Amino acid sequence: MSAIRLFIALWLLSAVSLVRAEPLVLLTENLPPFSMAASGGNFAKDADVQGISSDTVRALCSKAQQECQLILRFPWDRLYKQTLDSKGYGLFSTIRTPEREALFKWVGPIAVSDWVLLAKADSTITLDSLDQAGAYKIGGYRNDAISQFLIDRGVTVQTSLQDKENLNKLEKGLIDLWATDDVGGRYMAKQSSLGALKVVHRFNSADLYLALNKETPDELVQKLQKALDDMRAQGELGTIKNGYL
């Protein structure tokens, strides 16, 4: 009888280990320099997922001794829904808005997003306040918190399925201003024929997080948060960011 009990105990320990060994699947989008595919495309996995946020998430998983699989896909709407619906999934870089607060469990901040209106370098547009932006054609990213921030305040935004589409619209004169993240927008612009862009107005700042499915165990969330806090205290987050800027 004791041998049977021992077998059962060992089997249970093995089962628990297997459960703990299950990796988190962490989804992201192509949003340079926070997340991007090494190939420049809209799909990548693991080491081929690069960028400030991607390297930060990869490092905090390693420090927390949690196996994580990083996957970059498109579009954002699909990734958002999959994280909402699927146990064991996470999504980054996610802005932690009041509307999203209760939908996920959060680890962060992993980076900071400064929200700006960008124009061509030779643009003569000047803005003293966000209220004046309504006089211009503004492009944004569909279902993105930055675009939604403006829309909620009565500013009309022409949204695109991919944020980089706004570069083409800006170049062709289809929009006057691009509502985007300061670092990400200017990074993408430098890779395009437009080159440097001008910041016309800064209107908000938001922390970026790793959003985890609600069924993620609290113990794991706390473990990941501690790993991130340790990285921040040791200056590792700044080192990662500086490697891309």
Query: Does 189 lie in the same domain as 133?
Result: yes
212 shares a domain with 200: no
> Are 15 and 135 found together in one domain?
no
Q: How far is residue 69's CA from residue 57's CA, in Å, rounded to a whole number?
A: 10
> Do 196 and 213 lie in a common domain?
no
Shared domain check, 101 and 23: yes
To the nearest 5 percent, what fractions of the chain are helix, strand and coil? 40, 30, 30
> Beta 177-181 vs 138-141: how paired, if at all?
parallel
Q: Do residue 44 and residue 100 come from a single domain?
A: yes
Task: Work out how many domains the chain is built from and give that number.
Answer: 2
Burial of 99 (C-beta count, 10 Å sphere; 0-12/13-18/19+): exposed
Tokens of 216: 């993620």
The whole-number pLDDT of residue 4 equals: 54
Same domain, yes or no, for 85 and 165?
no
One domain, residues 136 and 78: no
pTM for the whole structure: 0.75
pLDDT, one tens digit for every residue, the chain (245 residues): 455 554 454 555 444 444 454 899 999 998 889 999 999 899 999 999 999 999 999 999 999 999 999 999 999 999 999 999 999 999 999 989 899 999 999 999 999 999 999 999 999 999 999 999 999 999 999 988 899 999 999 999 999 988 889 999 999 999 999 999 998 998 889 888 898 999 999 999 999 999 999 999 999 999 999 999 999 999 999 999 988 87
Together in a domain, 107 and 216: yes
pLDDT of residue 81: 97
Instruction: Say yes or no: 106 and 212 in one domain.
Output: yes
Q: CA-to-CA distance for 180 and 114, rounded, in angstroms? A: 8
Q: Residue 11 has what pLDDT? A: 53
CA 61 to chain centre: 16
Q: Are 61 and 68 within 8 A, CB to CB?
A: yes
- Quickly count: other Cβ atoms within 10 Å of residue 65's Cβ: 9
Query: Whole-angstrom Cα distance, residue 175 to residue 183?
Result: 20
Domain residue limits at 158: 113-205
CATH number of the domain within which 79 lies: 3.40.190.10
The verdict on 53 and 129 lying in the same domain is no
- Residues 126, 138, single domain; the answer is yes
